[in-house]
Amino acid sequence: MIDFCTGGSCNVRKETKNRIRKPVRVYASILPILFLITCRFMHQLKAPVILAIESSCDETSAAVISNGKVLNNIVASQNVHQKYGGVVPELASRAHQQNIVSVVREAMQSACAQPADLSAIAFTRGPGLMGSLLVGVSFAKGMAMALQKPLIEVNHMQAHILAHFIDEPVPPFPFLCLTVSGGHTQIVLVRDFLDMQVIGQTQDDAVGEAFDKAAKLMGLPYPGGPLIDAYAKQGNPARFKFTETTMPGLDFSFSGIKTQFMYFLRDALKKDGNFINENRIDICASLQHHLVTMLLNRLKLASRQTGIKTIAIAGGVSANSGLRASLAEEASRHEWQIFIPEFQYCTDNAAMIAMTAHFKFLQQQFCALDALPLARMPV
Ligand code: KG4
Ligand code: ZN
């Protein structure tokens, strides 16, 4: 090595060298920072493409969303529970394991998306069945690790509500959402995409569970809600009367009607062994009318208390034709602006998980790789 720093000319040389080196050193040190800022900026500029996975109960579903537009919604339903009158958790987890690879592959292929195109992987973290959630959560984590992509956790009940933003028209904020599914019955005050407050909820069973249990008592397969709905269309809703268990405030209780319905059938069957077969449509219409009235009574109270007249419904039971029709009647009576989701976005689906993930992505709300599934998860 030649040492230029010897002899009389050394000082001049040193000065020149320092003058050249200093800016180079400064540039070299800020280059990585500049690179990171540019990447972050590009990342935000690039339309986010997210793969979303739903596995909270008995539907294995995957969807791809690009820049807020849902490209597909692949759902594999599990018929294995039909004969048991309800979801069997162990069987649900196994079916998710069987379905998840093909469901995710189909979602990616039909969106023409390559793994490298993805900006993030989203998954349902809860609430739901632990064994079912574990399949989706583990699959999403595996993909995120392998592809070096960020992870987004999604609350299933929040997602049911945000399904309203998949297609036009979208509800303006604030609005009230009656979220009715197999595991939940809630009235939610929705202030913004990710700002929600439960103002009323069931203190025991969910309304979907009441539909399913009643169907089981009548010998119908799971899920009984859609079948009761179908029979109810032809029946007389005023034929049989049930009494309502009232709860304070905006809360609900559906365990009472389950027991009441069980004794109603038992007593009627004692007198006439053929009672269910001969009266199925009227029984279904009367029960459905009773359940829908319970829901709408609380919703009307919530609207009066909050002064909010923008009303949405969400979740599996929002597919019910009686609920939809009664909501429309109340809307014209009380000047409500109502929002009812498309059928495919009422029951469990990954499109709603993708939509929620999109809003979380915009706020850079990512989660760590050690996020655990949660059987209970507040909105
Ligand atoms: O939202 P969802 O698919 O799963 C949960 O998150 O629980 O809701 C499933 C529930 C089941 O109880 C099912 O019987 C009910 O939604 N359901 C209905 C109808 N379609 C689905 N209940 C009444 N009428 C329907 N048309
Ligand atoms: Zn659901």
Q: Please indicate whether residue 223, judged by its CB atom, sits closer than 6 Å to ligand 1.
A: yes
The reply to whether ligand 1 has any atom less than 6 angstroms from the CB of 54 is: no
Indicate the pLDDT class of residue 83, thresholds 50, 70 and 90. confident
- How many alpha carbons lie under 13 Å from residue 320 in its C-beta half-sphere? 36
* Residue 368 belongs to some domain of the structure: no
Per-residue pLDDT, 154: 98
Residue 338, phi then psi, degrees to nearest 5: -110, 155
Whether residues 152 and 199 share a domain: the answer is no
The full DSSP string for 179-224 is EE-SS-EEEEEEEETTEEEEEEEBSS--HHHHHHHHHHHTTPPSSH
Of the candidates 166, 190, 193, the residue with the CA atom closest to the CA atom of residue 178: 190
User: What pLDDT is recorded for position 16?
Assistant: 37
Is 64 within a domain? yes
Q: What's the pLDDT score for residue 377?
A: 96
Q: Is 212 in the pocket of ligand 1 (CB under 6 A)?
A: yes
The whole-number average pLDDT for the span 265-287 is 98
Q: Are residues 329 and 222 in the same domain?
A: yes
What pLDDT score does 77 carry? 93
Q: 261 and 294: one domain?
A: yes
Per-residue pLDDT of 46-68, as tens digits, reads 799 999 999 999 999 999 999 99
Residue 243: DSSP 8-state: -
Q: Go through 44-81 and write b for each residue having 16 or more CB atoms within 10 A of its CB, e for each that does not.
A: eeeebbbbbbbbbbbbbbbbbbbebebbbbbbbebeeb
Q: Which atom of ligand 1 is nearest to the CA of 212?
A: 14
What is residue 82's DSSP assignment?
G
Percent of the chain at pLDDT > 90 equals 85
Show the tokens assigned to 175. Answer: 């609005």
Q: Using DSSP bridges, classify how beta strands 175-180 and 310-314 pair: parallel, antiparallel or unpaired.
A: parallel
Residues 245 and 312 in one domain: yes
- 268 located within any domain: yes
Please, are residues 151 and 144 in contact by the beta-carbon 8 Å criterion?
yes
Q: What single-letter DSSP state applies at residue 373? A: P
Q: Does 157 share its domain with 178?
A: no
290 domain-assigned: yes
Count of domains observed in the chain: 2
Find out whether 100 and 60 touch, Cβ atoms under 8 Å: yes
372 C-beta neighbours (distance < 10 Å), count: 11
- For residues 136 and 222, membership in a common domain is answered with no
236 and 328 both lie in a single domain:
yes
Q: Pick the ligand that lies closest to the CA of residue 59.
A: 1
Average pLDDT over residues 278-290: 98
Same domain, 194 and 100: no
My answer on whether 196 and 332 are in the same domain is: yes
Q: Is 229 in the pocket of ligand 1 (CB under 6 A)?
A: yes
Task: Identify the H or E element spanning 277.
Answer: helix 275-306
The rounded Å distance from CA 370 to ligand 2 centre is 24
Q: In whole angstroms, what is the distance from residue 124 CA to residue 110 CA? A: 21
Terminal Cα distance for the chain, rounded: 68
What pLDDT was estimated at residue 46? 75
Task: Please say whether the beta carbons of 53 and 132 come within 8 A.
Answer: no
Domain that holds residue 64: 49-161+349-362
Residue 220 falls inside a structural domain: yes
Closest to 165 (Cα-Cα) out of 45, 309, 339: 339
What residues pair up with 314 in beta bridges, in sequence order? 179
Residue 4 has pLDDT above 50, yes or no: no
Could you read off the pLDDT of 331-366 as tens digits, one per residue?
Answer: 999 999 999 999 999 999 999 999 999 999 999 999
**What angle (nearest 5°) sits at the alpha carbon of residue 326, between those of residues 289 and 208?**
55
Q: Peptide bond before 89: cis, by omega within 30 degrees of 0?
A: no
Check if 183 has its Cβ closer than 6 Å to any atom of ligand 1. yes
pTM: 0.87
Asked if 84 and 116 sit in the same domain, the reply is yes
Are 183 and 76 contained in the same domain? no
Share of the chain above pLDDT 70, in %: 88
56 plus 92 within the same structural domain: yes
Q: What is the pLDDT of residue 245?
A: 84
Average pLDDT across the chain, whole number:
91
Query: Which backbone phi and psi does 114 adopt, to 5 degrees?
Result: -95, 155
DSSP conformational letter for 68: T
Q: Ligand 2 center to residue 30 CA distance, Å?
A: 48
Is there a contact between 55 and 133 (Cβ–Cβ < 8 Å)?
A: yes
Higher pLDDT, 27 or 245: 245
**122 domain-assigned:** yes
Label residue 143 by pLDDT band (50, 70, 90). very high
How do residues 6-49 score in pLDDT, each as one tens digit? 333 333 333 333 444 555 565 666 766 665 555 454 445 579 99
User: How confident is the model over 147-158, as pLDDT tens digits?
Assistant: 999 999 999 999
C-alpha angle 219/348/72, rounded to 5°?
135
Q: What SS3 state is found at 169?
A: coil
Q: Tell me, what's the pLDDT at 23?
A: 54
Which CATH number covers residue 278?
A: 3.30.420.40
